[in-house]
Amino acid sequence: MNIASNVAILIIKLENIKFSYFDTRKYEEQFVNIINCIFSIKSLFFLFKKFSKLFLIISFFSFLLSSEIVQSKPKKILSENYEEITSTYLDSKKELEDYIIDSGDTLFIDFYPAKELNGFYAVNEEGEIYLPRLNETNVRGLTTLDLEKLFEERYSEFLISPEIKVKIAIFRGIKVSLSGEIRYPGKYKFPAYKSRSYANFSGVSEIQNKPLSIDTSIDRNYLQNQQLLDNQSFYKKDDLDTNISDLIKKSGGITSKTDLSKIEIIRDIPISKGGGKKKAIINLNEFLDKNDKDNDLRLLDGDQIFIPALDKAYFDQISKSIIRGLSPRFIEVQVYGQVENPGTIKLPLVGTLSDAIDITGPVKPLSGKVILIRYESDGSISKQKIAYSANAPRGSKRNPYVKEGDLITYTNSLFGKTTGLIKEFTAPFVGIYTTKELIEGFGE
């Protein structure tokens, strides 16, 4: 019997005692039972006191065990979300599988077992490279995989079981077109750049430092390709390829109605895969929201990009694009005419006429309407007369947004023009009168 039950029995017995003078026998039995309960509780108390240290140790370890179980629960949850990485993760993404070789590219070709033939081979204006034994060889329109197969077939006549690998050492400059809901659509050029693996190609230093002997095919190849390499000193110094984000940045950034979730890319298909064009839809919102670059695809020469427009303007994406570097922070416009400080000024990306006035100073008295001259996306020049109002809402007809390169002129009003005409007409008479007064003053 435990302590709690003994205490409960004691309380019940105390409550049930009837101090009756007429039933002494029953009272004695109840009293004896109470005494027995008290001795039972006393014995349990001494037993607890004797083993109190043991009880404390057991309680301490029980507490540690329960806390460890509680702490292990998050670990179990994390282990459930863990995905094991397999060796397939190391496989190439084959991003350049469809890269079409053309003039301006430089290839690094690895010949096995003839390592002495390893070197850089620049593609000339005719789309050809000069190879040992094969001499002028057309490579335009092919991929690196195509060249490896064709070269192994050709060099099997000279080498035993050749294994040839072709890599792009220097990527040519690219030209891409951009249209749709973007600030400045059009055709854009990006310079050539070295591959990040340029310094890792085997045999580079030996080929570049090779002394020329007299009239051998290898030496002619070295001389011709070295001259082409020397002419390609214009490549990008930062060793960076060109992605969709780079194109958007160069085109002036996005607008409040740019739909980044449905970017359309049209790309050429290599000859070995049938030729023609292919189309893909890219969602770049993750790049804007989380800086996730998975969909920020690399651009290739000849790509055509179209960005659609949203049904409703979304101004929050402008600030996000500035943070991510997709859009510039400021634009430059030129302000002339009836203002205190005319000239070229910087405005925020989403700036208005009122912002321009705040920077150039107040408009002079007797000023008239504002003339806004702008290059449109199709290359034409537009000229708008605006009845400017400082109290008009931002982006309205009377206080429109401005763009990079806009020309803004504050003209004279009709009254101002009349006043100026009168001033010019009366200026000679004022001069004659002033001269007459001056002569008369000397005469006196």
Query: What is the pLDDT, as a whole number, of residue 207?
Result: 38
Q: Are residues 382 and 401 in the same domain?
A: yes
**Contact in structure between 267 and 302 (CB atoms under 8 Å):** yes
**Rg of the chain, C-alpha, whole Å:** 44
In a domain, 167, yes or no: yes
In a domain, 419, yes or no: no
Is pLDDT above 60 for 252?
yes
Query: What is the pLDDT, as a whole number, of residue 249?
Result: 94
Label residue 36 by pLDDT band (50, 70, 90). Answer: low
Per-residue pLDDT tens over the stretch 348-397: 999 999 999 889 877 666 567 889 999 887 778 999 999 888 899 999 99
Q: Are residues 306 and 382 in the same domain?
A: no
Q: Are residues 209 and 145 in the same domain?
A: yes
Q: Are residues 130 and 191 in the same domain?
A: yes
Is pLDDT above 80 for 98?
yes
Can you tell me the distance from the alpha carbon of 9 to that of 39, in angstroms, rounded to the nearest whole number? 13
Query: What is the pLDDT, as a whole number, of residue 419?
Result: 46
Can you tell me the distance from the alpha carbon of 216 to that of 206, in angstroms, rounded to the nearest whole number? 17
φ, ψ dihedrals at 147, nearest 5°: -65, -40
**Contact in structure between 120 and 229 (CB atoms under 8 Å):** yes
CATH number of the domain within which 366 lies = 3.10.20.600
Count of domains forming the chain: 4
**Contact in structure between 188 and 250 (CB atoms under 8 Å):** yes
Q: Are residues 269 and 382 in the same domain?
A: no
Is pLDDT above 80 for 319?
yes
| 3-state secondary structure string across 77-97 | HHHHHCCCCCHHHHCCCCCCC
Find the domain containing 351 and state its range: 330-412
In a domain, 75, yes or no: no
For 223, residues 6+ apart whose C-beta sits below 8 A from its C-beta are 212
Burial of 127 (0-12, 13-18, 19+ CB in 10 A): middle
Is pLDDT above 80 for 211?
no
68-79 residues labelled b (16+ CB within 10 A) or e (exposed) = eeeeeeeeeeee
Alpha helices in 190-240 (DSSP H): 204-208, 217-230
In a domain, 66, yes or no: no
Chosen domain end from 324, 350, 372: 324
In a domain, 444, yes or no: no
Per-residue pLDDT tens over the stretch 43-53: 655 555 555 55
Query: What is the pLDDT, as a whole number, of residue 29?
Result: 58
CATH number of the domain within which 256 lies = 3.10.560
The helix or strand, by DSSP H or E, that contains position 412, with its residue range, turns out to be: strand 407-412
